[in-house]
Amino acid sequence: MNPATQSLILNASPKKKKKKIWIRIASSDYEEGLLSLIDIYGHAIQRQNMQLKPGINEFEMEPENIPAGLYYLHYSTQITRIFIIIKLMKH
């Protein structure tokens, strides 16, 4: 794939009353990547390999036994890196 034509959009939101994070990644092409949930100290809490296809890709991540707080959701491929910040709250 030509990096100049690559397009990725990452969106995540906690599922209410569940300890899951719903993740949506829009991709313009097939690609492999790594999705990581990282705490504010830079420690990877959970990692998951991803196989994307063109269009909207939806996944769930279920981190266990982590405290409420701010976390980074990092998606990376050989070409692209995307970070977003998510807030997890206890219910």
Residue 6 confidence (pLDDT): 47
Q: Which residues pair with 87 in a beta bridge?
A: 70
Q: Collect all residues with Cβ–Cβ distance below 8 Å to 20 and sequence separation of at least 6.
A: 14, 60, 61, 62
Q: What is the per-residue pLDDT for 3?
A: 44
List Cβ neighbours of 18 (8 Å cut-off, separation of 6 or more).
none
For residue 5, pLDDT over 50 is answered with no
CA distance 63 to 72: 13
In this prediction the pTM is 0.75
Contact 75, 34 (CB under 8 A): yes
Say if residue 86's pLDDT is above 50.
yes
Instruction: List the structure tokens of 34.
Output: 């790594």
